[in-house]
Amino acid sequence: MFVFRLDTHSGVPPYLQLVQQVRQAVLLGFLQPGDRLPLIREVVEELAINPNTVAKAYRQMEQENLVTGRPGQGTFVDEQQSAAMSASTYTSLHRGLATWLRRAYAASLDEQAVNALFASVHQQTRNEGVA
């Protein structure tokens, strides 16, 4: 079963963290269409957060067509328009990115500089029409 986690130091509202985690899990293939998310009460108990926060995240995911709530059954991942990446693609990209991050940290870049560099290259690449 999928397990949520919260980073209290990220500055990102908890409900958005939950939404982002489901988006990423679907994209990376960790969550498949038809998989059930934890019940709201399970998330509340696990993370010790307000039920309204979890409900807000689930509503947001429904509005984005990531999930569908089924009364009495739970909340399930929707069929996605775009397929999740293959395991081999994930592994290859993960290794490449991990290597890049190790080089960046070895060059004494801090997290903020790494994020800025990544965002800059990402934007430039998108503008070139490659992404």
Please give the share of the chain, as a percent, with pLDDT higher than 70: 95
What is the Cα 75 distance to its own chain's centre? 17
**Rounded Cα distance, 26 and 68, in Å:** 14
**CB half-sphere exposure, 111, CA atoms < 13 A:** 1
Condensed to tens digits (0 to 9), the pLDDT of residues 24-41 reads 999 888 899 999 999 999
* Res. 76 pLDDT band, cuts 50 70 90: very high
Condensed to tens digits (0 to 9), the pLDDT of residues 78-116 reads 987 556 677 788 889 889 999 999 999 999 999 999 989
Does the pTM of the predicted model rise above 0.85? no
